[in-house]
Structure 1
Amino acid sequence: MRSVRAVIIAMVLLVGLHGCDVGRSEGGKQPVELTVSAAASLQDALKEVKTAFEHEHPNIRIHYNFGSSGALQKQIAQGAPVDLFFSAAVLPFEELKKEGLIDSTHEKTVVANELVLIVPKQEEGAIQSLDDITRAKRVAIGIPESVPAGIYAKQTLERAGLWENVEPRLVLAKDVRQVLTYVETGNVDAGFVYRTDALVSGNVHIAAAVPDEMHEPIVYPLGVVKTSKHLQEARQFYAYLTSEQALKQFEQYGFRRAH
């Protein structure tokens, strides 16, 4: 009986020791976990980038915090533990630079995007141009105060002389992906999103592409956050995000290279 009991105890100890190794990288060390705050419009491309990067760097794990760039900027400014910031607009990024929170040696504008007007797939043809938006009963845009896509949409409507007409019928969304959802589900008649968002959905139709001169340039600056506790690893991921391999992945999702 004693020998049987000893064998059982030994097996339990072995299982316990094996369990301690679960999630460890090569070399027996726990992987470094990086938190990347990124604009909602980047999520599909960044998930693919994460898979490729982690395959090449088993000692690093990437965790994303997606949202509107303005909201993410405020979180970082208030001390949220973030290692990299990938914004969909220059202003939130510049605000963090002014506060000395971005590593000036590791910052770059990586990709660009395009604003489009979308309608539900089943309503294709109802709205075919920017001017046709006056026919819509409800139009979704991101909250202009915090969502870059909302800022670009407001600029577009103002420059087209349509803002006062459309404003009473606006449905405001917390980020660009919520705008996409509102249009997909038919809760609104039209909405402004990035081309990359429209391309990942089979339930919307691009009614019109907005000319670049109708709004500020849609570019995505990336930077390492100075307060990161893992600067070396954060800089490694930064290097990958700005590499030729990553740029090709972004292009597959409809992004353009920033000039």
Structure 2
Amino acid sequence: MHKKIISLIMVVALIIMVTACSPQQKAEPVKKTEIMISAAASLKDALTELKPKFEQGHPDITLTYSFGGSGKLAQQIEQGAPVDVFLSASKKDMDKLNDKKLLAAQTRTDFARNELVLIVPEGSTGAIDSFEKLGTAPLTHLAVGEPQSVPAGRYSQEVFNALGLSAKVKNKLVFGSDVRQVLSYVESGSAEAGIVYATDARVSKKVKVVATANPKWHKPIVYPAAVLAGSSHAEQAKEFLAYLTGPEGKATLKTYGF
């Protein structure tokens, strides 16, 4: 009897020793595919909120953003920047890439719209309360986007042309490299007024909107998106676009005023 007990104890001990010495099986980490997204600066807040939501539902994909003026981003893509998805604040910049066969077929889609607004610092008590008065208002610095590379700057120029203000405001203009820089100029008081998108003004507590541009004064502010023809991760990029244009993506964009 004692021999049986001793034998049983030895067997159990042997099993424990073998188990302890065996290498532990570790779960294989999920391999993530990085999707590079070049996006208009005005989309920064909405896309930043979307990132963790998308990645939670797509554990094999991670999103990396590059924000800036749509014109500059398009130029970088033309020069070979490794971009999977382009989100533009203007049709013109997307058309440019399309003409050069840089967009993946049948992936282009319009996903948002915006408005152009005139802003001043929150504590301003000046007489600037309309676009029409910009030519005569007592201001020395009017911040706008650089027309050649920033869609908001082009729309602003169209407004000036429509109202006959181009010559009157020419020497007052301070140019930003993207619409968020224009916003910062007004927030800091470096400019007495500025022209940005309604969505940009919405996220700042340091500025106030004094006027909204009549849509007839400028071309429609439409945001197109597309997967790039040179993308190495086209399928995953399409998944992101499907999410952006789906119910969750639209709801988030709407939260930010798009």
TM-score band, normalised by the shorter chain? 0.7 to 0.9
- Partner amino acid, structure 1, of 2:226: G
For structure 1, the 5+ residue unaligned runs are: 1-12, 19-25
1:211-222 alignment, distance < 5 Å: 211-222=214-225
3-state SS in 2 of match to 1:106: coil
Out of 249, 252, 256, the residue aligned to residue 253 of structure 1 is 256
Higher Rg of the two aligned structures: 2
1:82-93 alignment, distance < 5 Å: 82-93=83-94
Out of 195, 198, 211, the residue aligned to residue 195 of structure 1 is 198
Shift of 1:29: 3.5
Q: Tell me which residue corresponds to 1:112.
A: 113
Q: Does 2:51 correspond to 1:50?
A: yes
CA distance in 1, matches of 2:33, 2:232: 10
Cα RMSD, aligned residues only? 1.8
1:99-178 alignment, distance < 5 Å: 99-124=100-125, 126-133=127-134, 134-135=136-137, 136-178=139-181
**Contact residue 198 and residue 205 of structure 1 kept, 8 A:** yes
Q: Deviations over 1:41-75 (max 9, x none)?
A: 00000111111100101110000000000000000
CA distance in 1, matches of 2:209, 2:170: 21
3-state SS in 2 of match to 1:104: coil
For structure 2, the 5+ residue unaligned runs are: 1-22
Q: Tell me which residue corresponds to 1:96.
A: 97
CA distance in 2, matches of 1:88, 1:119: 23
**Contact residue 30 and residue 59 of structure 2 kept, 8 A:** no
Shift of 1:27: 5.0
3-state SS in 1 of match to 2:89: coil
3-state SS in 2 of match to 1:202: coil
CA distance in 2, matches of 1:129, 1:80: 40
**Contact residue 84 and residue 223 of structure 1 kept, 8 A:** yes
1:51–1:124 Cα change, 3 Å: farther
Shift of 1:96: 0.6
Q: Does 2:242 correspond to 1:231?
A: no
Shift of 1:126: 2.9
**Contact residue 85 and residue 222 of structure 1 kept, 8 A:** yes
Shift of 1:125: 5.0
3-state SS in 2 of match to 1:36: strand
1:59-70 alignment, distance < 5 Å: 59-70=60-71
Q: Deviations over 1:98-132 (max 9, x none)?
A: 11111122110010000000000110453111122
Q: Deviations over 1:153-197 (max 9, x none)?
A: 010011111110001110011000000000000000100000000
What is the total number of aligned residue pairs between the two structures? 235
User: TM-score, with normalisation over the residues of structure 2?
Assistant: 0.88
CA distance in 2, matches of 1:205, 1:252: 18
CA distance in 2, matches of 1:116, 1:203: 15
